[in-house]
Chains A and B, each alone.
Chain A
């Protein structure tokens, strides 16, 4: 068979495999209770925020926020990002633990197809959830007479890219770990480290104001460097960075966050594929 025909056959088969596996994953998620529980929680949290804000507007007669939807939506995205990163961190390790991944690899499923399929599956779940959230926030906007700000659409797009980095990171964790428990532990440890660094920087920032010549400025500067670095390494920081950029109207910074998210996702998936190729599918 000529080389180009062979390559096109490979592409068709790969596309087909990704489609079949990700569809199965999507359907199984949509038929499971997890999706609906997270959907309820993720809509409940913004509802509480919006309700309490509207209460304060009623009491004071002042609308202090120009963008009613922005913060509740970022809470909604964070909840889904957390759920999908945990879910993706369990995706491969669970199949390895149960042995079902072996049955897939007996057939026309390769490491690249499998990793991409699991990634696409989680992204599709997010897109379904996002569609529901758009309906919800549009309804809130209609009922409260607060119009959606101009940053809502860029935030929607940004959320897809941000969730993509979290899912890709989760999949890498899942491929590295051989058991579900170890993959969850690894993901939570990494998340806590990034969160800890963020909190430590905030804490030092607060205290350094009262200690301009002491040791704190040095600690601040070290933490500042680490924070700048982790901002680009952490899969959880893109949403915040992008929303800041969108709020400032800084298109260049916003674009950089999108490109960074895409590159980050690709790098994570590439590492996951290579790890799976090297180590095989056995737990």
Chain B
């Protein structure tokens, strides 16, 4: 997989404040990358630098392996963006607005494409309404339609569901998943971590301008929880089960409380068949087996909390 977004030592200084501090991002083709961080951590500035809206103080951005200075139009035509705030031409209708952008991006079969993206975001009925009459959620959906209009290879989404109702959130999630399944790269910055967990495969966490973690979703969770947890309920206690389970490669710890066993496991493959087989061989009967993982929210808080003393110490 080639790199779709690659930043090297990306830094932005405003006055005496280092807003972004040497960020090295690596987003591969086809990945759904969540770019997370607390408010004021430098996410939006980083995104602006990636998109060429803000000039970095130092460092480099490569999109599809090229810098914007060497392949500006070629690169920009392959990106679709939904910004944090929607600034639309209020005097236009949705149809006129999309027609203008379709022309700008030189979209073939403009009219049918416009109809198709409006249908996708559920705005077909309102296409002839002036944008000044649009609600926040409708504006967000229209921005999504604009971003999808030219069928981009990379979608950059800054808080894509912030103004949407649950139906809208679900609609946008479906669109993101469908784009992902078509091999498109998605780069999302959002505070709605439950949505991120459902749509993304890789996570980068930025705090006070620094990238403090970058890993696959599962890898990040495993790293923080010390592995996934497996909860097993047996029909009745099985003598020797603890020893037998401890001997399995992927088992890191075992806690047994009569019929209930809790295992900490490592690795990315599903441990349940092996655990089940082990218990059955000892003559036991598994009633239920569930995996419990650390949530992304817990991981996010753990990482950003942990980076605070580290950063303070370095600053001193």
Contacts and interface: CB of A to CB of B under 8 A. Distances in A.
A103 B100 contact: no
A107 B101 contact: yes
Interface string B30-64: 00000000000000000010011111000000000
A65 B167 CA distance: 75
Contacts of B83: 102-103, 106
A100 B54 CA distance: 15
A24 B91 CA distance: 12
Interface in B53-112: 53-55, 72-74, 76-77, 79, 81, 83, 85, 87-89, 91, 100-101, 103-106
Given A9-B74, A102-B53, A280-B53, A108 B88 contact: no
Contacts of B52: 105
B105 A282 contact: no
Q: Contact residue range for chain A?
A: 20 to 34
A281 B101 contact: no
Contacts, number: 64
A211 B79 CA distance: 71
A222 to B, nearest CB: 41
A10 interface: yes
A281 B55 CA distance: 10
A101 to B, nearest CB: 8
Contacts of B85: 99
Contact of A105 (B53, B91, B103): B53
A20 interface: yes
Nearest to B97: A103
A282 B89 contact: no
Nearest to B105: A107
A17 interface: yes
A277 interface: yes
29 contacts: A10-B72, A13-B73, A14-B73, A16-B106, A20-B100, A20-B103, A21-B104, A98-B87, A100-B87, A100-B89, A102-B53, A102-B83, A103-B83, A103-B87, A103-B146, A104-B104, A105-B51, A106-B76, A106-B81, A107-B76, A107-B77, A107-B101, A108-B72, A109-B104, A278-B55, A280-B53, A280-B54, A280-B55, A282-B53
Interface of A: 9-10, 13-14, 16-17, 20-21, 24, 28, 98-100, 102-110, 277-282
Given A106-B83, A280-B48, 18 more contacts: A10-B72, A10-B73, A13-B73, A20-B103, A102-B83, A104-B104, A105-B51, A107-B77, A107-B105, A108-B72, A108-B105, A109-B76, A278-B55, A279-B55, A280-B53, A280-B54, A281-B53, A282-B48
